Structure 1
Amino acid sequence: MTETQPPKHKKDLTRRRVIVAGSAAVAATGIGAIAVTTASAGEETAAQRAAAAKAGGGKATTKATEVCYTLTSQTTEGPYYIDADKIRKDITEDKEGIPFTLRLKVIDSESCAPVKAAAIDIWHCDATGIYSGYEAVGSGGGGAPGGGTPPTDAPTGEPTGEPPTDGGGPGGGGGGGGHEEPTDDERYLRGTQLTDKKGFVEFTTLFPGWYQGRAVHIHVKVHVDGKLTDSGYEGGHTCHTGQFFFEEAAVLETESVEPYATNAAVRTTLTQDTIYDQSGVTGGLLKLTYKKKNDIARGVVGTITVGVDPDETNDGTSL
């Protein structure tokens, strides 16, 4: 995907750069919508507050100094990104694993209005920690997955070895924070779609596996102001680069399901992860719902609202 620099805007960007976290945030009823008190929010009418909350999927606040506001944390791109050239909803191809539906809503972080026609680009590893396009790297950068004794419970102590600093792919893969050229033509568990007029998009994929040094995650990029072509999504700019994370209880349940049970890599928890900022929804933590109660193998749905600043450029290469 090619990009052009966004035009300059005269909006007040100071308030838009605030990251919602800690006691200042008040959870709303939507998937990820948040009401937050800010000194610079100014006086708003009840109608304005109600409209903003409705657009963001949240509940209208009654205080004049509170506004519907979310700005999702930016993270590094990592070394294993491949341009948005697979426009599709179902990205599983022939991979095996727990069915996973990812439902996203993308909103403007100032107005909470839906961002329509944004290209949402996701990619993640398979159940054994392998990224398509980089199969030669192996799981955890140490060769083919499998072997050893699969984990049966939460990890204890600290993982052995240094975690990767690139935040993107298996440790030891030579990433070093920079982009790595693909080693093969595989493109499973990668795909791009445009948001609809209400800012929604849905992907059909698999619950990701793990590799040493990183908690279970899905990468995401949000591109705006471009267009679809025969080659994929072209032009515009990337306004958000981030990662989605999974609650620890759900990840533990996957360990007894094939082919996750064959993954013997040392697993990193959310609290140990060097990329997840521990801020919950704002940091990319998904809300998970099982398709059948107490049976993760039947499938999982993950939902989150992603607050972005469409005027900014955040391609994840400078973090």
Structure 2
Amino acid sequence: MTIKVVTIISIIMERKVFLKSLIIGALSAPAIIEGCKKSSSTVDDPSGTGTVTNSGTGNTSCTVAPTETEGPFPTKAPSSYSRSDITDGRTGYPLTSKITINTASNCAALAGAIVDIWHCDAEGNYSEYGGTGMQATNYQSVHFLRGRQVTDANGLVTFTSIFPGWYSGRATHIHVHVYTAAGNSLKITQIAFPEGSGAAVTLVNGYKKGMSGYTYNANDNVFSDDTLKIEVASVTGSLTEGFALTMKVNV
């Protein structure tokens, strides 16, 4: 009898422990699920809309674009990449860039100019380089996010790519090199992106990297002196539909 009583009590205690674990599990499940959602999320969208509400103004003047460095990652053979779609398999939020080249003296469209652009991928890496202290990942044998187009009668070129990521010390940007039809260099400059609440940079949130350690335009060694925001493009769009950049570069 003593053994049976002990056995029954043991079974009852085990059932209580089991039921308690079910209750605790049920209560904590939402928190666990929410935690998983947060850890897998790559986008911080404070507005809750996923749509740009701060598009910036872009360059509306006839002021000549500032001359900037080509940086440490210029395209090695730009004439080899005459193409409008420069995505080349890189993943990220779609970005269509419409860049108009004008003559600074009268703001007239410059037709027949050669325009090269290049920028980093979602992780902040450039093609054609790597395997060094400046960029650990080796992409020397590939050529993504680089391309060349010739301006039409309206001075316009259009490129399809992805929204650039960022890397240490720099704000989000696109490099631009403009040549005459004969191939003579006219202007080397860079395009900055609008920042702040509702801007595309904020919505994209550095992809998986986040924005911790990000360098904003005001502290960027290229854009910090651009008090008139001549180098800042206008960017519209959303996380679901992709983004559109428009920029006027006066040469």
TM-score, scaled relative to structure 1 = 0.55
Say yes or no: does 1:253 pair with 2:203: yes
Structure 1: which amino acid aligns with 2:164? P
CA RMSD of aligned residues (A): 2.2
Return the letter of the residue paired with 2:216.
T
Flag as ranges the 4+ runs of structure 1 deviating above 6 A: none
Partner Cα distance (1:303, 1:279) in 2: 19
> What is the aligned length?
189
Corresponding residue number in structure 2 for 1:37 = none
Map of 1:179-194 to 2, 5 A cutoff? 184-194=140-150
Aligned runs of 1:52-201 on 2, under 5 Å? Answer: 69-82=62-75, 83-84=77-78, 85-137=80-132, 141=134, 143-144=136-137, 184-201=140-157
Amino acid at match of 1:238: S
How far apart are residue 135 of structure 1 and its match? 3.2
Q: State the alpha-carbon separation in 2 of the partners of residues 223 and 100 from structure 1.
A: 23
Q: What is the CA–CA distance in structure 2 between the aligned matches of 1:137 and 1:203, rounded to whole Å?
A: 29
Letter in 1 for 2:102: I
Name the CA shift for 1:253/1:280 in 2 (closer, same or farther; >3 Å). farther
Q: Judging by fraction of residues, say which structure has more helix.
A: 2
Q: Is the 8 A contact 1:254 1:297 kept in 2?
A: no
| Structure 2 match to 1:279 | 227
Whole-Å separation in 2 of the counterparts to 1:131 and 1:272: 22
Residues 212/188 of structure 1: CA separation in 2 closer, same or farther (3 Å cut): same
* 2:189 equivalent to 1:242: yes
Q: Is the 8 A contact 1:101 1:205 kept in 2?
A: yes
5+ unaligned residues in a row in structure 2: which ranges? 1-56
Contact 2:125 2:135 in 1 (8 A): no
**Which string of whole-angstrom CA distances, capped at 9 and with x for unpartnered residues, describes residues 112-143 of structure 1?**
111111111000000101000113247xx363
Unaligned residue ranges in structure 1 (runs of 5+)? 1-29, 35-68, 145-181, 227-235, 309-319
* CA apart distance, 1:281: 4.0
Could you tell me which of 283, 305, 309 is aligned with 2:248? Answer: 305
SS at match of 1:251: helix
AA of the residue aligned to 2:65: T
Give the drift of 1:268: 0.7
The answer to whether the Cα contact below 8 Å between 1:99 and 1:297 also exists between their aligned partners in 2 is no
> Secondary structure at 1:253's aligned position in 2?
helix
CA distance 1:99–1:183, change in 2 (3 Å): closer
Aligned partner letter, 2:97 = L
Equivalent residue in structure 2 for 1:215, among 171, 186, 192: 171
The answer for the alignment partner of 1:33 in structure 2 is 60
Contact 1:122 1:192 in 2 (8 A): yes
The Cα of 1:103 is off from its aligned counterpart by: 0.4
* Residues 211 and 265, structure 1, Cα contact 8 Å, conserved in 2: no
With normalisation by structure 2, the TM-score equals 0.69
Matched position secondary structure for 2:108: coil
Instruction: Assess if the C-alpha contact under 8 Å between 1:107 and 1:115 holds in 2.
Output: yes
SS at match of 1:97: coil
2:161 aligned partner: 205
Change (3 A) 1:137 1:102: farther
Q: Distance in 1 between matches of 2:58 and 2:205?
A: 27
Aligned partners of 2:212 and 2:90: how far apart in 1? 19
Q: Distance in 2 between matches of 1:217 and 1:193?
A: 19
- Cα displacement string for residues 167-217 of structure 1 (whole angstroms, at most 9, x for unaligned residues): xxxxxxxxxxxxxxx962210000000000110111001110001101110
